[in-house]
Structure 1
């Protein structure tokens, strides 16, 4: 299933390296916001007007929003084991019509996903590793939503059965490798209903567990152990058990929206997406997750510095985060927003200051000068009221235009 590799899908890195600035850390009076003539800002091709997010326009959008609501509930990998705090480049965490193109697809492939899981209605995945360079162990958990508990139970059985029967590959692609050992069922003593298996001698496990109307898919993959031909099944079982402990506790009192009510749910009750820059249609390949709004805890799924970001999230009272054409954070107050802006756009070890947008004194920009391949080069940040936002681009002018448009939206939003 899992292809042994140094990293997940090669995507541009935004989350991991953009939130390592030096905030003002509070304590000082908040400077008065300078008056800005919005007509003088260079917003380029971007729409500098607040959006309108009411109810989903179609079922696909409703499923995506339901998946994001679930993301606010499920545990972080670091909640399961504090060692798992490194994210890296990854595919989509928001699961919509299929698992293809999602972070799951690097661990579990099922060309008959819909056939094996009737009643599926989206889900949310979390992923992290215990080594910054992916030389250790990876932990992935995904919660899939189904219409009924019976559908979830049937899907968990069917998913595992098909994966169990799949031939082993050479680890470099989909070429069958008859030299690999056959899959073997792995009992999870605390959760006898879990359907789990591994290939003896390989430090990897795959588990599907039905809980209420959800299926929890868990995979543990030891990059270093596999390379060194070392396997410890007890370690794998322990991580699956701890994962199911955390996931079942989080889901115990969570009620997913009934399928016939999905399109009636408000998409943006806090007005975060209304205040966030739209994504340009010309750059659709730049994002892997659909537009979404999350609480502060769920926002940590989108950063590779969970420890550091958690510190300033708590310090600045971050309670909402939106991911759209920019990233927008709602903080405690204006002073906290200024500190958040400095975290998002200030200088640090791997960044040097860059020219800020013209006529926008509240904005700052920086350039990435580190060695991480695939990382976007320029980042700009701005604050207004209790909000702080960040834009990014490989072209400085584009990053400046995005943050200028974002500022105008914040000023105009009611």
Structure 2
């Protein structure tokens, strides 16, 4: 059966990080040893940080490698090697995503396909989806042609859902690709029809005549791509050409990311670029989580955003190359200190924000009041920069936002 939609997670993310000074911090129990600020830097000991800790989290809670967390980290790593909708067509800018650290997390496929993932020992995966319709929730629909899917199709969207899984070796991936196709096709073998993609003869594909979707599964080394494409009208040549274009773009990218063995998964670092330790971590936790404790490159970061085109030029201009999510704090690494100051001064600007008082005592810091709030966007946001980094914090209370900004600034200084 060709699915019409997949999993949840509307992309999200603001970003940015901390500014200036040095109070040397030591001790795994979180006590602080006073230091002397360098010339030209403020003394972070004078800032109002409320009750927030200014100790880098790796001095409080050391990450303990384990296989479950390692699979999460492997999934984050894979995100940087998946295409975005905007890589295919600028109109495909509204995205969704899903981290898949184990077969049971692959809720974007049918239960029969999940069984094939388990049988072929899938290690981890990552899913991304893009549409030209802001209201079309590509991965929010359950697999299958349900009433909700029919309603969504009335929007006449063009979209794709792309998931990449890694298996232990190329043989397992080849078997898995065939098994996944067979499991999905056999949901309704009388209605489904096989499709050939001439440019990719090893691909397995099928569609249901009259339904504007097509499913393609193909292996590449130890990886398997599971690709669902949809167009406004049920025209097979258009669906086939669309799938071919996506495979042309995605397959070479997998050649640039080496597959991981179980031992390599176990040994993955939770913070390989030392990004996450440079931000306020109110929970003082180092457990990998795709939205609460994770780091991505520019490509991976834009998978996490609902609008995959918004402000990309701004980030590229300042050389932003690494992004972190840290329990409500967001941190970005830019080209240099000047670029960080520039980003901190503009990253919160937009039609849905208004001015708010900046946190006292922190140079180049900026706060805004958000005109629209949600579960992920609070009333006030503040951005601060320190050397080449920018942090963004949020709170419904301006005083608390200021204290968070001061605390993340101090963490950045203490992490040098």
Q: TM-score category by the smaller chain? A: 0.7 to 0.9
Q: Distance in 1 between matches of 2:341 and 2:184?
A: 50
Please point out which of 38, 48, 55 is paired with 1:41. Answer: 48
- Any unmatched runs of 5+ in structure 1? 20-31, 169-180
What is the aligned partner in structure 2 of residue 190 from structure 1?
Answer: 199
| CA deviation string 1:122-174 (max 9, x = no partner) | 12222221233334222221111111011111111222222222359xxxxxx
Q: Distance in 2 between matches of 1:85 and 1:33?
A: 43
Deviation at 1:393, TM superposition (A): 4.5
| CA deviation string 1:169-202 (max 9, x = no partner) | xxxxxxxxxxxx8222222221122222222111
- Any unmatched runs of 5+ in structure 2? 16-38, 137-154
Query: Relative to 1, partners in 2 of residues 1:392 and 1:166: Cα closer, same or farther, differing over 3 Å?
Result: farther
What is the aligned partner in structure 2 of residue 199 from structure 1?
Answer: 208
Tell me how large the CA RMSD over aligned residues is: 3.3
Q: Distance in 1 between matches of 2:64 and 2:216?
A: 33
Deviation at 1:298, TM superposition (A): 2.5
Q: Where in structure 2 are the equivalents of 1:222-261 lying within 5 Å?
A: 222=231, 225=232, 230-261=233-264
Q: Confirm whether residue 295 of structure 1 aligns to residue 297 of structure 2.
A: yes
Q: Confirm whether residue 64 of structure 1 aligns to residue 72 of structure 2.
A: yes
8 Å contact 2:57–2:284 — kept in the other structure?
no
Q: Confirm whether residue 98 of structure 1 aligns to residue 134 of structure 2.
A: no
- Give the length in aligned residue pairs: 368
Query: Relative to 1, partners in 2 of residues 1:43 and 1:344: Cα closer, same or farther, differing over 3 Å?
Result: farther
What is the aligned partner in structure 1 of residue 414 from structure 2?
Answer: 412
TM norm structure 1:
0.78
Deviation at 1:290, TM superposition (A): 5.9
| CA deviation string 1:31-76 (max 9, x = no partner) | x9772534532344x4432122977610011112222222222222
Query: Relative to 1, partners in 2 of residues 1:14 and 1:41: Cα closer, same or farther, differing over 3 Å?
Result: farther
Q: Distance in 2 between matches of 1:78 and 1:208?
A: 22
Deviation at 1:381, TM superposition (A): 1.4
Q: Confirm whether residue 50 of structure 1 aligns to residue 52 of structure 2.
A: no
Where 2:311 maps in the other structure, the secondary structure is: helix
Q: Distance in 1 between matches of 2:40 and 2:217?
A: 52
8 Å contact 2:3–2:228 — kept in the other structure?
no
| CA deviation string 1:231-253 (max 9, x = no partner) | 11222111211111111111124
Q: Distance in 2 between matches of 1:349 and 1:290?
A: 27
Deviation at 1:14, TM superposition (A): 3.7
8 Å contact 2:8–2:98 — kept in the other structure?
no
Q: Confirm whether residue 377 of structure 1 aligns to residue 378 of structure 2.
A: yes
Q: Distance in 1 between matches of 2:384 and 2:40?
A: 11
Q: Where in structure 2 are the equivalents of 1:257-406 lying within 5 Å?
A: 257-278=260-281, 280=283, 289=291, 291-325=293-327, 326-345=329-348, 347-370=349-372, 376-378=377-379, 379-394=381-396, 396=398, 399-406=401-408
What is the aligned partner in structure 2 of residue 171 from structure 1?
Answer: none
Query: Relative to 1, partners in 2 of residues 1:318 and 1:141: Cα closer, same or farther, differing over 3 Å?
Result: same
Please point out which of 117, 127, 130 is paired with 1:128. Answer: 130
Query: Relative to 1, partners in 2 of residues 1:288 and 1:66: Cα closer, same or farther, differing over 3 Å?
Result: closer
Q: Confirm whether residue 151 of structure 1 aligns to residue 172 of structure 2.
A: yes
Query: Relative to 1, partners in 2 of residues 1:115 and 1:350: Cα closer, same or farther, differing over 3 Å?
Result: same
Higher mean displacement: 121-130 or 258-267: 258-267
Q: Distance in 1 between matches of 2:345 and 2:115?
A: 45
What is the aligned partner in structure 1 of residue 150 from structure 2?
Answer: none
8 Å contact 1:362–1:383 — kept in the other structure?
yes
Deviation at 1:94, TM superposition (A): 2.2
Q: Distance in 1 between matches of 2:396 and 2:214?
A: 38
Query: Relative to 1, partners in 2 of residues 1:165 and 1:358: Cα closer, same or farther, differing over 3 Å?
Result: farther
8 Å contact 2:2–2:206 — kept in the other structure?
no
Where 2:351 maps in the other structure, the secondary structure is: coil
8 Å contact 1:71–1:298 — kept in the other structure?
yes
Deviation at 1:289, TM superposition (A): 3.8
What is the aligned partner in structure 2 of residue 177 from structure 1?
Answer: none
Where 1:323 maps in the other structure, the secondary structure is: strand
Deviation at 1:115, TM superposition (A): 4.8
Q: Where in structure 2 are the equivalents of 1:200-215 lying within 5 Å?
A: 200-215=209-224
Deviation at 1:382, TM superposition (A): 1.2
What is the aligned partner in structure 2 of residue 139 from structure 1?
Answer: 160
Deviation at 1:367, TM superposition (A): 2.7
| CA deviation string 1:9-32 (max 9, x = no partner) | 476x743xx47xxxxxxxxxxxx9
